[in-house]
Amino acid sequence: MKRFSMSTVALSLLLLCCSSMVYAKDIIVDIAIEGNRYIETPALLPKIKSHKGEALSKRQVSRDVQKLFATGYFSDVHAEGERVDGGLKLIFVVVENPVIAKISIEGNKEISDKKLKPQIKMKPGFILSPRLERTASNSIRKAYLEKGFYQMAVVIKTKLLDDGRIDVVIEVNEGDVTHIKEIRFIGNAAFTDAELLEPLASRESNFGSWFTDRDVFNRQRFEADAQLLRQFYQDAGYLDARIESTRLMLSPNKDDFYLALSVYEGTKFTVSAIELQGDIVPSSEALLEKVTLKAGDVYSITKLRQSILALTEVVGDEGFAFVSVTPSFRRNIKNNTVGIVFDIEKGREVYVERVEISGHTKTKDYVMRRELRQNEGERYSASHVARSKERLTRLGYVKDVRVSTPTGSADDLVEMKLDVTEGKSGTFSAGMTYSQLNKIALTGKIEEQNLFGEGYRVNLSADVGGATNNYSANLIDPYFLAEDVSASVSIFRTQTDQVTLLKYTQDTQGASFTIGIALNEYARYSVGYSQSSTTIVGDLLDTSAALRSQEGTYSTGELTQALSFDTRNRITAPTKGGLYSASLGYAGLTGDRSFYEMNLSAQHYIPLSDFWTLRGSANTGLIKGYGGKVAPIYRRYSLGGFGSLRGYDFFGVSLRDPATLDVLGGEQKATASIDLIFPLPYMESAGFRGAFFADVGTVWGTTGIVTEDLNPKKVRGSYGLSIEWISPVGPITMTWAKAYNAQLNDSERGFEFALGRGF
């Protein structure tokens, strides 16, 4: 029997050459595939559109060859015809690409195999094709370009094995990171280049680049910079400002990028009037009170957006889930003013028919639902929906919540759907802390915030080494007995060896139980009882008589009540709101100690801008013994160090024995501080921030040996600068402080350093 061939290289040509042997009347009686080893024939036949019983079509055979070749499984495909009884047998002859046995990546230092291999979509057992090679190379190149490695190159090599398979070696030549050499602005007159650089996420290379990667070119970041720059202008009153074009140039050696943004500034506008139209619900006064833009203000797009959100929430609280607030502008070119009209469409009043929560796999449904403030059957409230979302995200094990309100079974009903993304609820950490008081200590902590999916919180922690050893175990049920009442139980032990400062060692161990009751969304009352035992020992022969009287082992039973009010926008690094608390402790129901203690504290945050935050804080305390007993010396007040009175040493401000100068502590204290917190220029994305601060404080009272009244002339103070870095091993804080009005025998400290504690 005679065969004829059709090749992929010059298929059309060969088909014409073979036309003397192939006639349109030839009927295909059989189709076969030869040369395939790893790819089974049944998997390939569906790709062939030539069929038995049809007349041979050279055009269709050509398409079939191309279709088989396009699978990427073969390095060559051609067709042959074999005359048989009754017609023609069509045979597709294939040469398979090799099968991958093993994949290795070499030369990659900046990006690990663990991160690269999932991106290349190449695995052992896959057939290596040119398309797969290109995909792998492009994926690796993209990963490196995102990190600024524009000099990198990828070479894929193969090694043939005895069984016909191949080992693939991907060689990566990383090169150096390409930095931003210069950022230029074109068309700017109202602001200097330095002022326009400030809002951008990208940065030119400078000294601060060592701490951050903002000087490494990133295309997505540069595209976002155009929007940030436009917002900067529109926040400064330039209503019509826009970025006309962006340009970038890579140096020939691929070492540097030069970026340029062309700006159209337009005219600076001030707000002439604010008006409302449409559905004025509940009243004009209530709505206008929420508008942050006022007549006479410089136009700001940020304040405009805040006003729209606030108006939407106020109207939404009246039961309107589909509120639309549209601003319109009335420009006066002559005097460069703009009137803003908010057009409000309230939509229909609706009730929440059903609340549906999805996306949570570990957390029980009722644990989520108890945080909601928008309930089924109630009238829709925008603020309740927002608060529900906020409470869920504050749980700690919920990463994100998306809320939608589709129409329910009737026009006046909606469903509230919450799509929850859970995060990790358990953490394990180990590390090291350092402070000039407690020196170096090893730390370890195991914490679970959602035990058994029931919302229980448990943590075990230990700090070992240095001057203090701390051990504790805590279990918290935030909804004790299914009510909005928290219950916590803890056991603890603290051992201190601060002989250099206090001339004694202290060992305290005990347990406590606390109940907390939510009074409203922000206020909370708690009551707890603790029982502890404390031992004080040391070489006290030459120390104060007041100190010697405290030596020994004493037990303490203490009942504590506290009231707190928390309006902070977030727990970590808040920028607005405050935390205010008052507590009263009473010891003497059980144990050897008899004293009472009262504390008042307040912290308040004021956002001055997107970058600057003002924090004011104050604290006062009183502790006194009763029944002929004195307050324990280890509970009395001294000031100095982090969280107290910066610029003074630990226990640096205290009442002291005039004869021995031993630290005895005061019965009363008062401190106040003000901090201006800001991100460090060029380094905020690396976790750096700073604070200018000023502290004041003093202690007074009686110790049995010395008595000191409150004297405004003896109020100590300090001022200085703190820098904090949220490093991979925990917060690192450095403080430079200058003390003023220090009194005789006070101990000052101009510099403090701590690893494991932030401000």
State how far the Cα of 524 lies from the Cα of 478, in Å rounded to an integer.
12
598 sits in which H/E element: strand 595-607
State how far the Cα of 85 lies from the Cα of 371, in Å rounded to an integer.
80
Share of the chain above pLDDT 70, in %: 90
Same domain, 157 and 257: no
Same domain, 112 and 44: no
Q: Establish if 484 belongs to a structural domain.
A: no
Please identify, among 264, 285, 302, the residue that sits at the C-terminal boundary of a domain.
Answer: 264
Q: Tell me the pLDDT tens digit for each residue of 82-109.
A: 888 888 899 999 988 888 899 999 988 8
Residues in the chain: 759
Same domain, 601 and 557: yes
Residues 200-214 have a mean pLDDT of 70
State how far the Cα of 26 lies from the Cα of 89, in Å rounded to an integer.
10
Per-residue pLDDT at 211: 55
Tokens of 588: 């003497």
Tokens of 151: 């000099």
Tell me the DSSP string of 688-741.
EEEEEEEEEEEEEEE-SS-EE---GGG-EEEEEEEEEEEETTEEEEEEEEEEES
Q: Tell me the pLDDT tens digit for each residue of 462-513.
A: 877 766 788 999 999 999 877 789 999 999 998 877 555 567 788 999 999 9
Looking at the 3D structure of the chain, how many domains does it have? 6
Please identify, among 318, 345, 372, the residue that sits at the C-terminal boundary of a domain.
Answer: 345
Mean predicted lDDT score pLDDT of the chain? 86
Residues 6+ apart with CB under 8 A from 6: 14, 15, 18, 58, 61, 62, 65, 78, 79, 80, 81
The CATH number of residue 374's host domain is 3.10.20.310
Per-residue pLDDT at 35: 87
pTM of the model: 0.63
Same domain, 131 and 165: yes
Q: Establish if 436 belongs to a structural domain.
A: no
Q: How many CB atoms lie within 10 A of CB 122?
A: 18
Any alpha helices (H) in 291-425, and if so which ranges? Answer: 301-316, 365-369, 382-393
Per-residue pLDDT at 467: 65
pLDDT band, residue 295 (cuts 50/70/90): very high
Tokens of 4: 């004829």
Tokens of 34: 């030869």
- Distances in Å between the Cα of 388 and the Cα atoms of 363, 368, 369, 479 are 16, 10, 9, 16
| Exposure string over 169-186, b if 16+ CB within 10 A, otherwise e | ebebebeebbbbbebebe
C-beta of residue 534 within 8 angstroms of C-beta of residue 507: yes
Q: Establish if 430 belongs to a structural domain.
A: no
Q: Establish if 493 belongs to a structural domain.
A: no
Query: CB-hemisphere CA count at 13 Å for 714?
Result: 16
Q: Establish if 452 belongs to a structural domain.
A: no
Please identify, among 288, 315, 345, the residue that sits at the C-terminal boundary of a domain.
Answer: 345
Same domain, 319 and 211: no
Burial of 472 (0-12, 13-18, 19+ CB in 10 A): middle
Closest-CA residue to 226 (of 241, 205, 209, 208): 241
State how far the Cα of 372 lies from the Cα of 392, in Å rounded to an integer.
8
C-beta of residue 625 within 8 angstroms of C-beta of residue 633: no
pLDDT band, residue 38 (cuts 50/70/90): confident
Same domain, 81 and 152: no
What's the order of all strands across the beta sheet hosting 153-160?
100-106, 166-173, 153-160
Q: Establish if 475 belongs to a structural domain.
A: no
User: Residue 521: pLDDT above 50?
Assistant: yes
Closest-CA residue to 293 (of 335, 346, 338, 334): 338
Tell me the DSSP string of 398-445.
EEEEEEE--B-SSTTEEEEEEEEEE---EEEEEEEEEETTTEEEEEEE
CA-based Rg of the chain, rounded to a whole angstrom? 37
Q: Tell me the pLDDT tens digit for each residue of 23-37.
A: 445 888 899 999 888
What's the order of all strands across the beta sheet hosting 242-250?
179-186, 256-264, 242-250
Q: Establish if 483 belongs to a structural domain.
A: no
State how far the Cα of 671 lies from the Cα of 127, in Å rounded to an integer.
72
User: Residue 687: pLDDT above 50?
Assistant: yes
Same domain, 330 and 363: no
Cis-peptide into 406, omega within 30 deg: no
Residue carrying the six token digits 């750096």: 688
- CA angle 640–602–722, rounded 5-degree value: 45
**Cα-to-chain-centroid distance, residue 506:** 39
Residue 404 belongs to domain spanning: 355-422
Q: Establish if 249 belongs to a structural domain.
A: yes
Closest-CA residue to 383 (of 293, 319, 305): 319
**Which segment of 5-14, 184-193, 555-564 scores lowest on mean pLDDT?**
5-14
Same domain, 257 and 276: no
Per-residue pLDDT at 11: 40
C-beta of residue 284 within 8 angstroms of C-beta of residue 274: no
Residues 143-157 have a mean pLDDT of 87
Same domain, 329 and 370: no
Same domain, 587 and 574: yes
Residue carrying the six token digits 């004009």: 284
Same domain, 71 and 11: yes
Per-residue pLDDT at 303: 93
Tokens of 745: 């025998």
Residues 69-89 have a mean pLDDT of 87
Same domain, 137 and 190: no
Q: Tell me the pLDDT tens digit for each residue of 569-618.
A: 777 778 889 999 999 999 998 989 999 999 999 999 998 877 789 999 99
- Distances in Å between the Cα of 475 and the Cα atoms of 133, 363, 393, 422, 447 are 54, 18, 21, 22, 10
